Chains A and B, each alone.
Chain A
Amino acid sequence: MIRGRGTTFFCGSSARVLNGVCLLLTLVALLCLPIADIQIYQVDPWAELGRMGTGLIWPHWSDAWELSRAVGQTVAFALLAVAIAAPVGLLLAMLFHWRSVRILCASVRSVHELFWGLIFMQIYGLSATTGLLAILVPFSGVFAKVFAEIFEQQSLEPGRTLSPKVMGLRRYAYTLIPQSWPALVSYTRYRFECALRSSTILGFIGLPTLGFHLETAFKQGQYAEAGALLWAFILLIATLRFWLRPRLLPFYLIIAVVLLPETVGFSNGGYLWQFISRDIWPAPLLAGEWAQATQWYIELFQSQVWPALVQTLALTQIALVLSALVILALYPWATRSMAGPMMRWPGRFLLLFLRSTPEMVLAFVLLLLFGPSGLPAVIALALHNGALIAFLVANASDAEWGGRLSRPDDPSGLKRYAYLETPRRFPAMLAFLFYRWEVILRESAIMGILGIATLGFYIDSAFEEIRYDRALVLILFTAGLNILVDTVSRRLRRLAHPEAHLEASGIDEKVDRDNG
């Protein structure tokens, strides 16, 4: 519908519509530049960067046992969380025609794992329960939504040959679930990779996963150890398809339960009620003083919510446009047609490296180099998301190499890049970028935990000061913002390329709302 209108406005050139969208986004990002807090504090990051590079090239780890335990616990959290979240999501997907289920899923999804972690930590302490719940609650919502979308794409014919009286689980078990089984499995597999990243960065709030050791190593300047941890993580993801075998899953799950860390501090489920009924509400509200409560909320909005919202959105917009630049700059280096069949491997490796490393880790490293401003966050987001999409774009180009569209007189090099490859990939690339928009927003909010003045910063401080009433308001605003951007990006995606959705449906799962 929207596209139809666009074509009449722009006299039938698809390129002009797309360029218009890009121009608009770039203008918005430029307007955001003066608002966003992006300055370099440290004058000479190069020496530090050199030491980090050395650490990455010569990784070293003295205590192999501790390293393997950190890897084991990272995998354990991710595996158990996905093992629970996927069936829960499947059940919810079967009920997705209920509005209440859709709203529930959208709301649990819109709060980042780290924020869930901070919430559950108040109730269950630094425990295995906290780590598991932090991943599986938002993941259940994501699984439900994506599984329901996969079901929607299936043919309705098998269902129509059944008796109309066959309902619920029986109907799903024989029709939609087996019909979409390969898609369900491949999405769950991809989601497990996301869970590994989530599990890693939960270390930043104290759980004993790789992130915890990474943060410690980086903060202490032990870059060789940090390098070893990073390599361990990259290897874990790169070898996923070799060790993640369906048959070995029961075995892995048992080991995962054994490996879960013991509870540190307290674990008090009975505290839950007090948390919900008292702690998350401001004192005037509990006392029934409505005027003062309203005043409290208005003040909080003016002093924290508004500036944080502005900062989060500004950084998101800049990161979005930078991601596009990263894609355009990096994807040719990983293609057969432009880098060559052999020379594309270093490019592909770089993209895989950037794609596998969680944004939080990238941002944390850059933060050490550039000082505490929005700049590291923006660069990290652009590198991670840009590399992720560039990888998909390069794959799409390779898939077409030598295909029915290629001609012997096709240009090569820069001409090929400008006249052939980029125009062909552009619509899908934009569609992917809009898919990632919401993810970039979620991530730039969460970057606040590292000390950048986005929503996450205020949420983290509220938790630190044990002001759960404030944390609740901030989290609700963050969630609302996510839902809003999700809606806008879905509209824009249709505008950018209505067919891209269909074309990309095979790789949708790779770019859909994952958390990095």
Chain B
Amino acid sequence: MSPHKTLVRLRHESLSLGGHKVLSDISLSIKSGEKVALVGPSGAGKTTLLNLLYRRVPELCALQPQAGGLVDLLSAYQNIFMGALERVGTLAALWNLVHPLAEHRREIEELARLLDIEEKLWSSVDRLSGGQRQRVAIGRALYRKRPVFLGDEPVSSVDPLQAEALLKAILERHETAVISLHNRRLALTHFDRVIVLANGAVRCDCASSELDSSALDRFYLEAGEDSSVIPGVPEHDAWAIGNG
């Protein structure tokens, strides 16, 4: 795919759910090669916007929804393998439920090392901790091997060090990414574009180099509804907030 080609263009998109306006008059475009961070207080419409983007180009995207979309009864291996379902035939896919396919097994074991869930690869995911489950969900998205990654707070339940490493891995392996997250430092350091949403509208859409942490804080404060944001909290403590 040639760089800088527009992947999705939204023009004056609005969306209401049950009489409540979730998105109002959103206009933006995502070009291939862009790494976009989506920030804004809870309830700002980040999830809805991600779903909207996903519906435009579903075949290009690996989507990681907030809850991860894991299937509890299946093992971590099977949950990651699901990313490759489109690449295997029906019979092979059914056989894989009985006996893992060798080539996929090799590849997924390698992926599990990267995600640090090797020991849990054969446990059903209902026995995993929140952080482990999230890493399995990332594994599935990576195993989709799509050019575009759409993630809804993909690293919210893992510890800070891991979050940074995982985010790097995700961004390295995808040409384009749109990721919502609460951690402002990560948003500013790892992405080249930041979109701030508040009350369903785009408050700011600019290069991350034009923003700093306190500018982002102001957007959260202006929205005024999210009490979990404490202004003036030192950078490294922002994790406490970011995990919501």
A residues with a Cβ closer than 8 A to B are: 155, 157-166, 168-171, 173-175, 178-179, 181-182
B interface bracket (residues with beta carbon within 8 Å of A): 20 to 34
A-B contact list, 28 entries, CB within 8 Å: A158-B69, A158-B70, A158-B71, A158-B82, A160-B65, A160-B69, A161-B62, A161-B63, A161-B65, A161-B69, A161-B82, A161-B144, A162-B83, A162-B86, A163-B85, A163-B144, A164-B58, A165-B86, A168-B90, A169-B94, A170-B90, A170-B93, A170-B94, A173-B94, A173-B97, A174-B85, A175-B71, A182-B73
B69 touches A163 (CB 8 A): no
Closest partner residue, chain A, to B89 (CB atom)? A170
Instruction: Determine which of A161, A166, A171, A179 lies in contact with B140 in the assembled complex, contact meaning CB atoms within 8 Å.
Output: A161
The CA-CA distance from A178 to B72 in the complex, in Å, is 8
Q: Which 4 A-B pairs have the closest CB atoms?
A: A157-B69, A163-B86, A158-B69, A161-B69
Instruction: Determine which of A165, A170, A178, A182 lies in contact with B71 in the assembled complex, contact meaning CB atoms within 8 Å.
Output: A178
The CA-CA distance from A171 to B64 in the complex, in Å, is 17
CB proximity of B136 to chain A, nearest CB, Å: 11
Among B78-128, those with CB < 8 Å from A are 78, 82-83, 85-86, 88, 90, 93-94, 97
B73 touches A179 (CB 8 A): yes
On chain B, the residues within 8 Å of A168 by CB distance are: 90
CB proximity of A182 to chain B, nearest CB, Å: 8
On chain A, the residues within 8 Å of B54 by CB distance are: 160
B residues with a Cβ closer than 8 A to A are: 54, 58-59, 62-65, 67-74, 78, 82-83, 85-86, 88, 90, 93-94, 97, 137, 140-141, 144
Closest partner residue, chain B, to A159 (CB atom)? B69
- Contact (A163, B63) CB under 8 Å given A170-B85, A174-B74, A174-B82: no
The CA-CA distance from A139 to B73 in the complex, in Å, is 26
The CA-CA distance from A159 to B79 in the complex, in Å, is 11
On chain B, the residues within 8 Å of A178 by CB distance are: 71-74
The CA-CA distance from A168 to B68 in the complex, in Å, is 22
On chain A, the residues within 8 Å of B94 by CB distance are: 169-170, 173
On chain A, the residues within 8 Å of B83 by CB distance are: 161-162
On chain A, the residues within 8 Å of B69 by CB distance are: 155, 157-161
On chain A, the residues within 8 Å of B137 by CB distance are: 161
On chain A, the residues within 8 Å of B88 by CB distance are: 170
On chain A, the residues within 8 Å of B68 by CB distance are: 157
CB proximity of B123 to chain A, nearest CB, Å: 14
B144 touches A157 (CB 8 A): no
B71 touches A166 (CB 8 A): no
On chain B, the residues within 8 Å of A159 by CB distance are: 69
A169 touches B90 (CB 8 A): yes
On chain A, the residues within 8 Å of B144 by CB distance are: 161, 163
Closest partner residue, chain B, to A178 (CB atom)? B73
On chain B, the residues within 8 Å of A163 by CB distance are: 58-59, 85-86, 144
